[in-house]
Copies of this chain bind each other. A is one copy, B any other.
């Protein structure tokens, strides 16, 4: 039996004091047949690029040059990651990042949750974590570009489609 304990709405985020080697905020504790695990969120940018690539592979994304991925992480305003911790091991199970002008706007890119961890509400928690972090930096206009199959997911989180007729547009090289 899986038991999820939501700690996300606590005013003071719990920290993973048991695992000081893993910086982050504890948001979930689950118990199943294989023992206790914790879900931890972090904004630490020190992410193993191969582990991130593996996560992106798991949802079928096209591979990107790691050199460019590294640069994108370095120049993102916010890098959010979601980890499962069991004992002294951690596994990257979710990721999102945001570009920003550090003042008005942020745009969230590359939202991914490992398929084995989907349908548990973790993607929602990851997005709430991103929104909370951006709001704490006084960013008030949070945008993203949603694939058709995740529009309802983002709508449930409060994202609006084409408000006042504003439309997302894309330019690609020929």
Q: List chain A positions with a Cβ less than 8 A from chain B.
A: 64, 68-69, 71-72, 74-77, 97, 99-105, 107, 109, 131, 135, 140-148, 151, 154-155, 157-173
Q: Is the CB of A147 within 8 A of B165?
A: yes
Give the interface SS of chain A, mostly helix, strand, loop or mixed.
Answer: mixed
A170 neighbours in B (Cβ, 8 Å): 141-143, 159-160, 163, 166
A74: chain B residues at CB < 8 Å are 102
Docked CA distance A168–B160 (Å)? 9
**Alpha-carbon separation in the docked complex, A168 to B72 (Å):** 21
- The quantity of this chain's copies bound in the complex is 2
Contact A168 B168 (CB under 8 A): yes
Contacting residues, chain B, for A104 (C-beta < 8 A): 64, 68, 72, 109
- CB-based contact A148/B173 at 8 Å: no
Q: Quick one: closest B residue to A174, CB to CB?
A: B158
A100 and B71 alpha carbons, distance in the complex (Å): 11
